[in-house]
Structure 1
Amino acid sequence: MIPRITSATAGALLLLAVLTACTGTAEPAPSPTADSSTPTPRATSVPIDSPAPEEPDAELTCESMISAGTVEALTTAGWTAKPKDFVIGDVELSDGLLCFWADYAVGSDHGQLYGWSAITTEDATAAQDALLASGWTREDGPEGTYITEDPQYSMGTDDDGYGMTYLFHDGWVKLADTRQGLVLIEWAG
């Protein structure tokens, strides 16, 4: 059976495509997203009995992990991502991905690091214990548990003085080269 697309659905998809094309920024910063809970006005009051379009199964990639505006800014600058295994101490996170974004055409230590993985409670405890034993610091916040490297050994820090930082939450962990960089990771699993 071939699914039917109603004119209202096609119009909503066209509007979404136009809005998505206009949201890119020149800076690696999170791009604003439209509030999908806002109803789309219809040209007629006749109810449509077709189901809402399903989103395709998403796959965790270096491009899907971070905001579309960040991907656009990095690729416009000539940067590409190299995926790596996500490992914290002795804990290998096979469901995760670590991405190093840089301009690999030139030799440099300048780049961006982003990672995301699903994680069990046991692996999260083991990973946090290993980091803390290595001199990293812990801060609990409403978003979860932050584990940050000692800024004295950091390659770079954000405006608040934080270097490489993990954010542990129920069932997942994020990693960025600075604590502020964690906001660019939009993957939700």
Structure 2
Amino acid sequence: MTSLSARLRGAGIASLLAICSVVALSGCAPATAPGADPTTAAPGEASATPARPAAIDPDDVTCENMLSADTVGTFGSTGWTVREDPFVILDLELPQGIACTWGDFSSPTNDDLILFGWSPISAADAATAQASLTAEGWLSKEDPRGVMITEDPSSALRLDDEGYGMTYLFHDGWVEVSDTRQGLDLIEIG
């Protein structure tokens, strides 16, 4: 079995689904729709998607606990480490937020990097950030979890299997980010 790092390099980090295949059952499945019962499978389904864990105190969010323990363990087992940065949307810094870049920082090419971030956000800041992103050419899309703002695929550095690059998900009171839309499915708080 090749390492996660080697597989992601070989795939050009085209999708975070490679991570999900390695850390099977680690919470990579999409979150359930609001109001859906995550414990009940639809007719013909083998099992239901587990619900996201409840939100935690913003002061307690870390790079390690925003992802499942299995995902963090997989990153660690491949030699990946994490760099913590402020959560920034264009020129808006959210001081209670956290942006986490996971990867092989010893790699000379630094192409083994994956971004995850989460922050509380006021309704006013969310509206301003969404308007600023769309003015910069980012695309807005309604999602059952909130409003998704994703970079234009024609200018994205990395795309997931569904054609999404870096994506912000704005919900009531919080925002999260990943370098692909599918990466948002790995964030377990919110």
- Tell me the TM-score normalized by structure 2: 0.70
- Structural mapping, 1:99-118, within 5 Å: 99-107=100-108, 108-118=110-120
- Structural mapping, 1:27-42, within 5 Å: 27-28=22-23, 31=26
1:73 maps to what in 2? Answer: 74
Residue of 166, 172, 183 corresponding to 2:174:
172
Deviations 1:98-131 (A, max 9, x none): 0010111112222110000000000001111111
2:165 maps to what in 1? Answer: 163
Amino acid corresponding to residue 154 of structure 1 in structure 2 = A
Amino acid corresponding to residue 27 of structure 1 in structure 2 = V
2:145 maps to what in 1? Answer: 143
Larger gyration radius, structure 1 or structure 2: 1
**Distance in structure 2 (CA, Å) of the matches to 1:185 and 1:80:** 17
How many pairs are equivalent?
A: 143
1:61 matches 2:62 = yes
Amino acid corresponding to residue 26 of structure 2 in structure 1 = S
- Aligned to 1:104, the other structure's residue is in SS state coil
1:185 matches 2:187 = yes
Structure 2: gaps of 5 or more residues: 1-19, 28-38, 40-55
Structure with higher RCO (Cα < 8 A, 6+ apart): 2
Residue of 122, 126, 130 corresponding to 1:120:
122
Deviations 1:81-106 (A, max 9, x none): 00000111222101100001011111
- Structural mapping, 1:86-101, within 5 Å: 86-101=87-102
The 8 Å contact of residues 168 and 174 in structure 1, kept in 2 or not, is answered as: yes
**Distance in structure 2 (CA, Å) of the matches to 1:77 and 1:28:** 12
- Tell me the TM-score normalized by structure 1: 0.70
**Distance in structure 2 (CA, Å) of the matches to 1:74 and 1:29:** 13
RMSD, matched Cα:
2.3
Distance apart, 1:26 and its partner CA = 7.5
Identity of aligned residues (%): 49
Structure 1: gaps of 5 or more residues: 1-24, 33-37, 39-55
Distance apart, 1:65 and its partner CA = 1.0
2:83 maps to what in 1? Answer: 82
